[in-house]
Amino acid sequence: MAWREALFLTNDDGIDAPGLHYLISQLHALGHPLAVLAPASQQSASGMRLTLHSGLKFENRSDLIEKLELDPDGAPVRIYSLDGTPCDCVVIAMDGGFEKWAPEIRPRMCISGINRGPNVSVDIMHSGTVSAAREAALYGMPSMALSLATYLHEDYTVGFQSGLKMIRSCLNHMSQEPPNKNRPRGSQHMPWISESLSMPEKVKEAFLCGDLFLNVNFPHEWTGKIETVGLGARWYLGAATATNKDDGSIEFEVGAASIQDEEIPDTDCLSIMVGSVAITPLATWPQTHPLNVPNQILRTALQTNDEGYPAWLD
C-alpha cells in the first residue's frame, strides 16, 4: 500500500491513553506516516499552559509500536512522550522538533485526541486537547481536535468513521506542505481576504493557513447523523467543594457536582445530547488579533452539505 499523507498526533490524556492508541492504530493501518508526541502523564484541563524555563524529559516510546501491533513494514511511525503539557508538545514538535526526532516524516495536519470526555461549549477554554490543536494552528498547521463526549464508556469506535472522513476531506485540499507552517510572513499571510475567492474558498484558505481549526465531538451513542454547529451553553454547578481538615486547614477541590446544558438549536451541546457527531469550526486567534477571521467567514464555516459535514470541504 502506498503511503498516505503524514500526520502529527498529540493529546492531553497522555501517551498511554487508549484514545490516542486507537487513533494511532487506525491511522497507521490506513498508511499514514505518524509523528506522535504526547504528554508523559495525564494533562486534562491544562488549557494552553506552557512549562517555561524548565527541562522537559523527552522519551522514545517505540515500545508502543509493538504493543499496538503496528505493521513494522508499514508507513514510518515515531512515538515519543514529553514530561510537559499538550502545548509544550506542540511547541517542541513545530518549532524545529520534527527534524530532530522524526526526520523522515513531514506532517500536513495535527490531530489532537481522541480525548475521553466532551470538549463542548466553555470546555474549549480549559481543554488541553483543544488547546493542542489551537497551538498547532497558531504555528500555521491545519488542525483538528477529536473527543469522545462521554465518560460512560471508552469505545472509541463510536462515530470514528465520520472523523476519518473529515480527516480525508481536509487532506484532499492540502498541498505537500502546509502553506503557512511556522508563519513565515507573520500577519501578512492572509490569502483568505482575497476578493477573487468565494466565501467557501476563503473558509478553506483560513483553515489551511491555521487561522481556523476544527473541534469534533463523538456522542455516547451515535445515531449516524453529523451536524456542523456552533458552540453551546454549558454550566458547571457546585464546581468547588471545601473540606475541613483535622489540623484546622481547609482543602478545596474543583470538580462540578452537576452540569447543565442549554438546549439551544444548532449548538454542539444539543447535537451531542441527541446522538449526533458535532463538528465546530473555531477561530484560532482572539477577536482583536490582526489574523482573526471575520464573522462572515465563521458563519460560512457553519454551512453544511447534505450529510451534515462542512460544505466548504466538499
Report domain extents, the chain: 7-230+265-313
What values do phi and psi take at 98, rounded to 5?
-55, -40
Q: Write out the three cell numbers for 137.
A: 494552528
| DSSP H or E stretch at residue 236 | strand 234-237
Which CA distances in Å does 110 have to 137, 146, 186, 239? 8, 11, 20, 32
Which CA distances in Å does 165 have to 70, 168, 217, 264? 22, 5, 14, 27
CB 36 within 8 A of CB 79: yes
Global pTM reads 0.95
Task: Quote the CA–CA distance of 192 and 179 in Å, as a whole number.
Answer: 13
* pLDDT for 245: 87
For residue 172, which amino acid is it?
N
Domain 7-230+265-313, CATH: 3.40.1210.10
What values do phi and psi take at 304, rounded to 5?
-120, 160
CB atoms within 10 A of CB 51: 15
Task: Quote the CA–CA distance of 109 and 32 in Å, as a whole number.
Answer: 11
* pLDDT for 1: 52
* pLDDT for 23: 98
**From the DSSP assignment, how many helices (H) and strands (E) are in the chain?**
10, 13
Which residue stretches of the chain have pLDDT < 70?
1-2
Three-state DSSP class for 310? strand
* pLDDT for 2: 63
Which CA distances in Å does 135 have to 36, 76, 236, 265? 15, 24, 26, 29
* pLDDT for 300: 97
Task: Quote the CA–CA distance of 181 and 106 in Å, as a whole number.
Answer: 11
Task: Quote the CA–CA distance of 21 and 93 in Å, as a whole number.
Answer: 19
CB-side exposure of 199: number of CA atoms within 13 Å? 12
